[in-house]
Amino acid sequence: MPDVNKVVLAYSGGLDTSVILKWLEETYNCEVVAFTADLGQGEELEPARRKAEAFGVKEIYVDDLRETFVRDYVFPMFRANAVYEGEYLLGTSIARPLIARRQVEIARETGADAVAHGATGKGNDQVRFELGYYGLEPGIRVIAPWREWDLNSRERLLQYAERHGIDIEGKREAGSAPYSMDANLLHISYEGGVLEDTWTEPEADMWLWTNAPETAPDEPQYIDIEFAGGDPVAVDGERLSPAALLSRLNQLGGRHGIGRIDIVENRYVGMKSRGCYETPGGTILLRAHRAMESITLDRDAAHLKDELMPRYAELVYQGYWFAPEREALQAMIDRTQQDVEGTVRLKLYKGNAIVVGRQSPKSLFDASVATFEDDAGAYDQQDAAGFIRLNALRLRLGANRRG
């Protein structure tokens, strides 16, 4: 086994990464740097610091990356209206490249020669993390314990923790944890447990961020979202930072039961996986952004974006954030967003975010042309006859050939 002197571990303080921390020290006889990213997961992160200190870790990073996450990762992705397989708003996927980038930066700062993560060998996250590492630091050593060790069940992890005196706060009996969850400012995800039966409805108490639509308020709430350069900048006239704005939309959407989905998706590693997601603010934002584009984007530019969006979403899902093709697509998308400016009004009601108004100083909508009333000569309807004949020419030729 090649020598490792120092490794930067993506560390949460939970069972898996606490065991990994000790396992790295024991297996590689190396120094471990603990890195915890605050992406708005809603948890107190100082216990992770204290736990790492109790392990004797000398270098501990607990970084608040919430603004960076939303500004530099979530918002660029939403400019593309990215949705994977028609439903998934990529909440976990978009967080991984930022964590990978910061891990590589810390490795450089501390002189570490390796990075490690707690993703399993069955999922997408191992790919996302490692493509990120290699895309930023080609020669970095990557350690993926789940692909190396024999601790392949929660029972074995708990036994290892007990043998090594690892204190796992709130640990449960083996097999009793109902779901595997991941949270950040964009979403919270649920996998495993009863969800592995695709016919079983999720339990009502699984959902943590959103009211059930049937118990949401009986009165709708109207909100205005202001855009500039394709990004949201204000809610109801109040300018907010990216992280604060998404938090506000999460609160509003959660109150009205918006953003729940239950899907079976195709993982990059080849298997199908069922996941449930709550993305209240993101669901509102996607609806509003598309509405803003509807009056500010040229028709064919908008259609081109829609054609490229599935490819962009697939690149994010699979972990190619730092790949040249994603960056090239981003440059094209960002060019289309220069005039995506104005305000969208939505009605939030029992699981729905309904667009009811949109206005922009750069709108391409011209009521004097589109009106069904007298347009005062703004549009000559007789022009349509020649337009239709020219576009029908190939169809007529084909029909004549068929006889």
Enumerate the active-site residues: 16, 96, 125, 180
Q: Report d(CA 89, CA 68) in Å as an integer.
A: 18
Q: How are strands ordered across the β-sheet holding 260-266?
A: 180-183, 188-191, 272-278, 260-266
Using only the alpha carbons of the chain, give its radius of gyration. Answer: 25
Query: Partners of 352 in the beta sheet?
Result: 349
DSSP track, 326-368: HHHHHHHHHHHTTT--EEEEEEEETTEEEEEEEE-TT----HH
Q: Report d(CA 4, CA 26) in Å as an integer.
A: 12
Q: Report d(CA 312, CA 199) in Å as an integer.
A: 31
SS3 144: coil
In sequence order, the 6+-apart residues with CB closer than 8 A to the CB of 352 are: 213, 256, 258
Residues in the chain: 403
Burial of 136 (0-12, 13-18, 19+ CB in 10 A): middle
Beta strand 114-116 with 272-278 is unpaired
Q: Report d(CA 254, CA 212) in Å as an integer.
A: 9
